[in-house]
Structure 1
Amino acid sequence: MLKTILEGILIGIANIIPGVSGGTMMVALGIYDKLIESITHLFSRFKKSMRFLMPIFVGIAVAIVVFSRLFEFLIETYPIPTNLAFCGLILGSVPFITKHVKNKGFDLSMAIPCIVFFMIVIAMAVASGGADSQADMNLNFVNVILLFLIGIVAAATMVIPGVSGSMMLMTLGYYEPILSTVNLAVDSLVHFNLNSLLYCVGVFIPFGLGIVVGVFAIAKLIEWLFERFQTQTYWAIIGLLLASPIAILLNTDWSSFSIIQLMIGILTFAFGWFLSSKLGGE
């Protein structure tokens, strides 16, 4: 069980870093097929599935709580080098996906999903309003519904190899607010601040329900898509990945730009590319 919890922690760390795919980490650890099977057959093989899934979910939760504060600090204090590192992580994972479509040709049925998903990501980034626009986290009916839908999107992208759920949250403007809410929840528990804790619970309930729905829905959908439209599905993922660095740069705070920041950013980009390519190549 300890080994599975540690695997869950690695998956959690991957999911919290924009550009690093939790699904890719699952593949690298050799547990992706078993995890998808456990989710899709949860009710028919409940005890067996839960014995495998629970330690993983515990590890993911531990990683999110422990590392949320670090990444919130990096984005607020060093936005340019941090976001360029995320871009490197994303682009470094592209060869991991393209190897699945290598030597399979390229026609209109592959170009359409690639272009459509590319344009969807760019449109979402433009619609989000840029670096100064973060999601409204005030608890009202509309925002609760949005949190539920965002949870579905985040969960769906978290379990697809090569696609980063946290990158999608960043594109939609929810990455930093969710990190801040996780950190606020930890602080509220430590200081017994009931009002803040209740607010955090109000955010986590719809977001968490969305994640549960998204994980189960996408697991079934992944099985269906890869059985029938494997190559087209990979090209859709490639379109999403290629657009994601553009979306992140559009939403980066460039007010602190300097030559030194840019040079550091180039180094962090290269490091992100190297790290992602190594993870994806395992």
Structure 2
Amino acid sequence: MASTPIIATLLKGMAMGAADVVPGVSGGTIAFITGIYERLLAALKSFTPAALLVLKREGWRPFWAYVDATFLCALFGGILLSIATLAHGIEFALAEYPLQVWGFFSGLILASTIYIGRQLHWRALVVLVAFCVGALAAIWLGSVKPVNIPINTLTIFAAGAIAICAMILPGISGSFLLLIMGVYPVIIAAVTEFNLKLLLTFMGGCVVGLLLFSHLLHWFLQRYRQPTLAFLCGVLAGSLSIVWPWKHAVVTVVDRHGETVPLVQRNLMPWDYESITGVSSAWPGVLTLFVVAVVMVFALEYGARRLQLKRAANAA
């Protein structure tokens, strides 16, 4: 595989980790934007009995290259570093400037949808159907009411396996699924308090889910690339309803920590938000960050395209 500089991969991992902390935003979206998505899936799916045979017959160095371990270590190192260092900051930003944060991520997701959409053959009926199914699935997911499952070793392990599948799907947020399952506050508290037992259990579930799901997703991309990309593009488009900044809580509930959290929310226009909630919509700041995010995505795409052309010219 073509090598990716370790520092660049580490930074991309940190961006993925930052996105995964926020309910409603997917690290898979960042992987797509930065051009490492399919390499990530290929590396994850390489962990098979064949990899163990390579290790047994040829030794560590060929095995390390076979599973693209340098890339994976740098990427997941960046993800873990980001989660460990940015959890407090993102919690603070969501608490103090939620509208601006959601505006920024709305821009990221819209630009990512356009980025993927430009790769699709829209005249094919199967592409249109797959896009609509993905969009409807994301909208439905955003309407699911959170539940409170019992917190024990088994449920934390299962939550990790489920959430990590979403974390590598562009547009579907693993953190949002954790929120739906009622374990998001538990995981964030474990990170900030460094509850090693709970974190190791959660990470064990993540590893199992990641290895199993990556094989399935890579298989679909290899055999049904256009419909699969269309489905992912639809999920991204539909997830805009989840991250829409201006929401009104129709139904609230008091969680196990005594905090009031929204159970059912309704999207509002900025002017309706102000009249209903009595709170400023902060639309200039939200719009500014939205535009910054859009420009950032297309700047990343432009830079990645220039880098690929440069590498191709050097190879020739």
Which secondary structure state, in structure 2, belongs to the residue aligned with residue 128 of structure 1? Answer: coil
Distance in 2 (CA, whole Å) between partners of 1:276 and 1:174 is: 31
Match 1:139 to one of 143, 147, 151: 151
**Residue equivalent to 1:11:** 13
Deviations 1:138-182 (A, max 9, x none): 6247xx43x44442343223334x446456447747656533431
**Residue equivalent to 2:257:** none
**Residue equivalent to 1:194:** none
**Residue equivalent to 2:105:** 86
**Residue equivalent to 2:312:** none
Report the number of matched residues.
257
Deviations 1:61-105 (A, max 9, x none): 11211111111111111111111211111111112211220x451
Look up the equivalent residue of 1:113 and give its one-letter code. Answer: A
Cα 1:86/1:12, change in 2 over 3 Å: same
Match 2:238 to one of 237, 243, 246: 243
**Does the 8 A contact of 1:13 with 1:67 survive in 2?**
no
Deviations 1:182-218 (A, max 9, x none): 1222xxxxxxxxxxx3xx633x244322311222123
**Does the 8 A contact of 1:153 with 1:214 survive in 2?**
yes
Asked if 1:215 corresponds to 2:236, the answer is no
Cα 1:248/1:174, change in 2 over 3 Å: farther
Cα 1:138/1:167, change in 2 over 3 Å: closer
Distance in 2 (CA, whole Å) between partners of 1:251 and 1:258 is: 11
Larger helix proportion of the pair: 1
Cα 1:273/1:236, change in 2 over 3 Å: same
Deviations 1:237-270 (A, max 9, x none): 1111111121223588779764462222122222
Look up the equivalent residue of 2:101 and give its one-letter code. Answer: T
**Residue equivalent to 1:191:** none
Please give the residue correspondences for 1:175-190 in structure 2 after superposition, counting only pairs within 5 Å: 178-185=187-194
Higher alpha-carbon Rg: 2
**Does the 8 A contact of 1:152 with 1:215 survive in 2?**
yes
Could you tell me the TM-score, scaled by structure 2's length?
A: 0.67
**Does the 8 A contact of 2:160 with 2:205 survive in 1?**
yes
Distance in 1 (CA, whole Å) between partners of 2:34 and 2:293 is: 19
Gaps of 5+ in 1: 130-134, 186-196
Match 2:142 to one of 102, 116, 125: 125
Distance in 2 (CA, whole Å) between partners of 1:52 and 1:158 is: 18
Match 1:272 to one of 293, 297, 303: 293
Distance in 2 (CA, whole Å) between partners of 1:248 and 1:65 is: 23
Larger strand proportion of the pair: 2
Please give the residue correspondences for 1:1-282 in structure 2 after superposition, counting only pairs within 5 Å: 3-4=5-6, 7-17=9-19, 18=22, 22-23=27-28, 25-26=30-31, 31-43=36-48, 44=51, 45=54, 46-48=63-65, 49=67, 50-101=69-120, 103-107=121-125, 109-128=126-145, 136=148, 139-140=151-152, 144-145=154-155, 147-160=156-169, 162-163=170-171, 165-166=173-174, 168-169=176-177, 172=180, 178-185=187-194, 197=195, 201-202=197-198, 204-249=199-244, 258-259=279-280, 261-281=282-302, 282=304
Distance in 2 (CA, whole Å) between partners of 1:175 and 1:245 is: 20
Which secondary structure state, in structure 2, belongs to the residue aligned with residue 152 of structure 1? Answer: helix
Look up the equivalent residue of 2:138 and give its one-letter code. Answer: V
29-38 or 61-70, which moves further after superposition?
29-38
Identity of aligned residues (%): 21
Distance in 2 (CA, whole Å) between partners of 1:228 and 1:126 is: 31
**Does the 8 A contact of 2:4 with 2:71 survive in 1?**
no
Could you tell me the TM-score, scaled by structure 1's length?
A: 0.74
